[in-house]
Chain A
Amino acid sequence: MSGIHTLTMPKWGLSMSEGRVNAWLKGLGDPITRGEEIVEVESEKIAGALEAPASGVLRRRLAAEEDLLPVGALLGIIADADVADTEIDAVVAEFLANYVPPSEEEEGGGSVPGKIEVGGLRIRYLKLGAGGEPLILVHGFGGDLNNWLFNHATLAVKREVYALDLPGHGESTKDVADGSLDNLTDVVIGCMDALGIPAAHLIGHSMGGAVCLNVAKRSPQRVHSLVLIASAGLGAEINGDYITGFVAATNRRALKPLLSELFSDPGQVTRQLIDDMLKYKRLDGVAESLDRLAGKLFANGSQQMILAEVPEVFGKPVLVIWGKEDRIIPARHAPKAGGKVRVEILEGQGHMVQMEAANDVNRLMESFLG
């Protein structure tokens, strides 16, 4: 039965138990190249495209558009043109006979976030994968570990990957001390100590990129390599209206236009995305934390901590990824490529490039990490 590949409902993020088939991007009988986007799926939280796991022909479309299906359910079959229909039918029948939708208890089983004490704070982290050189994912201002939901599992195939909630964010303690970059940096290094990680690859997005740069500056021996995505800390400019607006926004109407700035496709800003952000912003202590960070790091619409020399001085491999249409931090902040610094600018992409162009960004990171 080799050469017959199943397409199944993906699991994006901890809480996803089912997804809706939004649209088929390929027709029945279409030739497919591995890595091509085949079907668009939407969870409660987010929409994304599923990539072909292998090349061949789209031989079956078992899920209809608008179907709501559990994680792991069969969506379609890719096989070479010369594979007999009877063989394909046998694979489908076998799949359906053995498929058990994940139960409530199993949801998130095996990949539940943990909490560690770091300097009196409780820090939430999610570890996926095992072995290899550890990798740590650091989100940006107002984000959390779910910002990596399209990247985390892919990166974790070859190594253990930790995604953190910075202080003041996600489910970590809502205390950012003086709101300085050094404080956030202390916490990341503290997490590495607490988790027993002597050195790691660091991937940072936006403000998290500045944190990773600062870790590399202060403790270069603990960093194998850096991936900086739409990173802060490389230049003075930042969209000050976004920062002020985001800190001040208390309802859907205020938040929606701001979140739309983050994406190249405003359709990504779903009702659920806005609701989740409001839920975060309404936790006690979040407003003060964001206000303090913004005041310290992005005062008067200008970045206060610039570490532009670090990528070169660091002397180890650095990958810089930017969406060309980033409306929060301009792509021209990307350092010059050369030496150990590699720069990839993605056309048409915005600030949340690791989510919107997850498949491309994952490929770049994978080839960089080796």
Chain B
Amino acid sequence: MARKITYQQAINEALDQEMSRDPSVIVMGEDNAGGEGSPGEMDAWGGVLGVTKGLYHKHPGRVLDTPISESAFIGAAIGAACNGLRPVAELMFVDFMGVCFDQIFNQAAKFRYMFGGKAETPVVIRTMYGAGFRAAAQHSQCLYSLFTHVPGLKVVVPSNPYDAKGLLIESIRDNDPVIFFENKVLYTMEGEVPEEIYTVPFGEAAILREGDDVTIVALGRMVNMAQEAAEALQKDGIHCEIIDPRTTSPLDEETILESVEKTGRLVVVDEANPRCSMASDIAGLVVRKAFGALKAPIEQVTAPHVPPPFSDVLEDLYVPNAAKIERAVTRVAEYR
């Protein structure tokens, strides 16, 4: 386990190993081979940030460059999944997902349900999300809650390289449509990742830190900020328990509830906008099922209800950070 690779390399390795193991796995997306001004196939880009770089030549004919038409190629991936392939489609930024909602919400998510449980749609849609990249309002949103809302989809939000690889392999092997959220700021994060093939199951939260005072539930990039905050808070004598649900659908309710039953205090950290979000969903869950255990009002640390700003200064204010988490935890811990 000593080998460390980045989040981006972990995703690349998962795809490479599953493509080698299972000939029905294909990869498709924009700029897999060439973008404007590139020499094309000779210097295949591997997607806009190069996550699939190297796969094009390693798996000939199984890495497809698509036109810039999300509705067309996501539809094609879903169709291919219905016909025996296991496509992994890359939809650059989740912000562009809107143009193929029919294919995702109304088709892929419904097939198993509408065809007597006989239809399987083993498609994975990989997509980048999140602010902090100076990419403005149309390339920085955090939209996993939209997909979590729709039954029939599975939604994965890995927070570190180990989970990214294991959850992606699990996604590829899963027989239902999976939306796989990659935080672009995490691409350079390094972590220990086994060279061997492994899976991380859906619906099982990770407990990253144990503590008796306050439960922090955090997702994606926020998990690392929560850890930073928890380390600082420990010096003040506040011991946090950090839970990373890893998948928002299915959601590991039991681990969250067990923790809050122990601590009685909850802070939910979600990079998304606050309304109808995972933060409000998890807060609602705890109020419904662990109300008696609560010793303080639940705090939510989220982005404000505005689009991600383009200004660097405002964008930094927009995204939750360790200092904001610390303040929220302190308020919750001190509440009497």
**Interface positions of A (Cβ within 8 A of B):** 14-15, 66, 68, 107-108, 112-113, 171, 174, 250-252, 271, 275, 279, 282-285
The answer, yes or no, to whether B304 is at the interface (CB within 8 Å) is no
Alpha-carbon separation in the docked complex, A200 to B305 (Å): 68
Alpha-carbon separation in the docked complex, A252 to B192 (Å): 20
Q: Do A250 and B196 contact each other (CB < 8 Å), given the known contacts A275-B206, A282-B166?
A: no
7 further interface pairs, Cβ-Cβ under 8 Å (given A282-B201, A285-B196)? A108-B2, A171-B195, A171-B196, A251-B201, A275-B206, A279-B194, A282-B166
Chain B residues with CB below 8 A from A283, complex form = 194, 196-198
Alpha-carbon separation in the docked complex, A46 to B195 (Å): 24
The answer, yes or no, to whether B199 is at the interface (CB within 8 Å) is yes
Chain B residues with CB below 8 A from A284, complex form = 196-199
Instruction: Indicate if the CB atoms of B198 and A171 lie closer than 8 Å.
Output: no
What residue of chain A has the Cβ atom nearest to residue B190's Cβ? A104
Instruction: Indicate if the CB atoms of B2 and A113 lie closer than 8 Å.
Output: yes
Chain B residues with CB below 8 A from A14, complex form = 1-2
Instruction: Indicate if the CB atoms of B200 and A282 lie closer than 8 Å.
Output: yes
Alpha-carbon separation in the docked complex, A283 to B17 (Å): 13
Q: Quick one: which of A66, A108, A271, A285 contacts B207, CB cutoff 8 A?
A: A271
Chain B residues with CB below 8 A from A250, complex form = 201
What residue of chain A has the Cβ atom nearest to residue B21's Cβ? A284
**Interface positions of B (Cβ within 8 A of A):** 1-2, 162, 166, 192, 194-201, 204, 206-207, 209-210, 231, 234-235
Chain A residues with CB below 8 A from B206, complex form = 275
Alpha-carbon separation in the docked complex, A290 to B144 (Å): 37
Q: How far is the CB of B5 from chain A (nearest CB, A)?
A: 14
What residue of chain B has the Cβ atom nearest to residue A286's Cβ? B198
> Which of B198, B199, B209, B210 is packed against the most chain A CB atoms within 10 Å?
B198
Instruction: Indicate if the CB atoms of B194 and A15 lie closer than 8 Å.
Output: no
Closest 5 CB pairs of A and B: A284-B197, A283-B198, A282-B198, A283-B196, A271-B210
What residue of chain B has the Cβ atom nearest to residue A250's Cβ? B201
What residue of chain B has the Cβ atom nearest to residue A275's Cβ? B206
Chain A residues with CB below 8 A from B2, complex form = 14-15, 107-108, 112-113
What residue of chain A has the Cβ atom nearest to residue B170's Cβ? A282
Q: Quick one: which of A171, A252, A271 contacts B194, CB cutoff 8 A?
A: A171
Instruction: Indicate if the CB atoms of A251 and B204 lie closer than 8 Å.
Output: yes
Chain A residues with CB below 8 A from B201, complex form = 250-251, 282
Q: How far is the CB of B204 from chain A (nearest CB, A)?
A: 6
In the assembled complex, 26 residue pairs joining A and B whose CB atoms fall closer than 8 Å, in A order, are: A14-B2, A15-B1, A15-B2, A66-B234, A66-B235, A68-B231, A107-B2, A108-B2, A113-B2, A171-B195, A250-B201, A252-B207, A271-B209, A275-B206, A279-B194, A279-B198, A282-B166, A282-B199, A282-B200, A283-B196, A283-B197, A283-B198, A284-B196, A284-B198, A284-B199, A285-B196
Alpha-carbon separation in the docked complex, A279 to B206 (Å): 12
Alpha-carbon separation in the docked complex, A40 to B176 (Å): 48
Chain A residues with CB below 8 A from B192, complex form = 15
Alpha-carbon separation in the docked complex, A171 to B192 (Å): 13
> Which of B2, B201, B210 is packed against the most chain A CB atoms within 10 Å?
B2
Q: How far is the CB of A261 from chain B (nearest CB, A)?
A: 21
Q: How far is the CB of B290 from chain A (nearest CB, A)?
A: 18
Chain A residues with CB below 8 A from B199, complex form = 282, 284
Chain A residues with CB below 8 A from B197, complex form = 283-284
What residue of chain A has the Cβ atom nearest to residue B17's Cβ? A284
Alpha-carbon separation in the docked complex, A23 to B127 (Å): 46
Q: How far is the CB of A27 from chain B (nearest CB, A)?
A: 22
Alpha-carbon separation in the docked complex, A108 to B194 (Å): 16
Alpha-carbon separation in the docked complex, A108 to B1 (Å): 11
Chain B residues with CB below 8 A from A174, complex form = 196
Chain B residues with CB below 8 A from A251, complex form = 201, 204
Q: How far is the CB of B242 from chain A (nearest CB, A)?
A: 10
Alpha-carbon separation in the docked complex, A251 to B207 (Å): 12
Alpha-carbon separation in the docked complex, A271 to B259 (Å): 13
Alpha-carbon separation in the docked complex, A200 to B205 (Å): 45
Q: How far is the CB of B12 from chain A (nearest CB, A)?
A: 18
What residue of chain B has the Cβ atom nearest to residue A281's Cβ? B198
What residue of chain A has the Cβ atom nearest to residue B169's Cβ? A284
Alpha-carbon separation in the docked complex, A251 to B192 (Å): 20
Alpha-carbon separation in the docked complex, A227 to B201 (Å): 39
Alpha-carbon separation in the docked complex, A251 to B234 (Å): 28
Alpha-carbon separation in the docked complex, A14 to B192 (Å): 12
Chain B residues with CB below 8 A from A282, complex form = 166, 198-201
Q: How far is the CB of A109 from chain B (nearest CB, A)?
A: 11
Q: How far is the CB of A126 from chain B (nearest CB, A)?
A: 10
Chain B residues with CB below 8 A from A108, complex form = 2
What residue of chain B has the Cβ atom nearest to residue A253's Cβ? B254
Alpha-carbon separation in the docked complex, A282 to B210 (Å): 22
> Which of B1, B192, B194, B231 is packed against the most chain A CB atoms within 10 Å?
B1
Alpha-carbon separation in the docked complex, A112 to B200 (Å): 27
Q: How far is the CB of B86 from chain A (nearest CB, A)?
A: 16
Alpha-carbon separation in the docked complex, A283 to B194 (Å): 9
Chain A residues with CB below 8 A from B195, complex form = 171
What residue of chain B has the Cβ atom nearest to residue A173's Cβ? B196
Alpha-carbon separation in the docked complex, A70 to B231 (Å): 15
> Which of A68, A251, A279, A282 is packed against the most chain B CB atoms within 10 Å?
A282
Chain A residues with CB below 8 A from B166, complex form = 282
Alpha-carbon separation in the docked complex, A267 to B192 (Å): 25
Alpha-carbon separation in the docked complex, A348 to B200 (Å): 37
Alpha-carbon separation in the docked complex, A14 to B1 (Å): 9
Q: How far is the CB of A193 from chain B (nearest CB, A)?
A: 25
Alpha-carbon separation in the docked complex, A113 to B166 (Å): 23
Chain B residues with CB below 8 A from A271, complex form = 207, 209-210
Alpha-carbon separation in the docked complex, A112 to B198 (Å): 22
Alpha-carbon separation in the docked complex, A113 to B194 (Å): 14
Chain A residues with CB below 8 A from B196, complex form = 171, 174, 283-285
Q: How far is the CB of A368 from chain B (nearest CB, A)?
A: 31
Q: How far is the CB of B318 from chain A (nearest CB, A)?
A: 31
Alpha-carbon separation in the docked complex, A112 to B1 (Å): 11
Alpha-carbon separation in the docked complex, A284 to B165 (Å): 13
Q: How far is the CB of A11 from chain B (nearest CB, A)?
A: 13
Q: How far is the CB of A42 from chain B (nearest CB, A)?
A: 12
Q: How far is the CB of B158 from chain A (nearest CB, A)?
A: 14
